[in-house]
Amino acid sequence: MADNTKSESLPRDIPRWNQDKGRVEYPNGEAPEERILRLREEKRQASIARGFDLRSEVSEDARYISGRIVTHLWIIFVLLPVMLGVLFSILYAVVKP
């Protein structure tokens, strides 16, 4: 015979579930949001213990990458238009219509 413990306990649990409609039961008793917050705080505490606070310090890699990005954006949006303007003005001065 098959074990009917699940099917036997199900009718007894239905009234309890219906009493509190706003409550969600999780298998381990901890909501996913609570678990994420707990894990995030544990990770932050571990990084502080290693001597690096994610909230106030920026890694050297991030500084290097952001510096390269800013440099390239400056070249594209500032230096290139200025150089093109100078070249077009020289070209216009040489070849007057």
User: Could you read off the pLDDT of 40-66 as tens digits, one per residue?
Assistant: 888 888 877 877 766 677 788 999 999
Q: Quick one: pLDDT at residue 27?
A: 67
Q: Which residues have C-beta within 8 Å of that of residue 30, sequence separation ≥ 6?
A: 38
State the average pLDDT over residues 68-96: 95
pLDDT tens-digit series, residues 71-81: 999 999 999 99
Q: Is residue 77 included in any domain, yes or no? A: yes
Q: Is a pLDDT exceeding 60 seen at residue 82?
A: yes
Assess whether 50 and 70 both reside in one domain.
no
Q: Which two tokens stand for residue 12?
A: 């007894």
* pLDDT level of residue 1 (50, 70, 90 thresholds): very low
pLDDT at res. 32 = 76
Task: Verify that 64 and 53 share a domain, yes or no.
Answer: no
Share of the chain residues as helix, strand and coil, in percent rounded to the nearest 5: 70, 0, 30
pTM of the model: 0.42
Q: For residues 53 and 72, state if they share a domain.
A: no
Q: HSE on the CB side for 24, CA within 13 Å?
A: 5
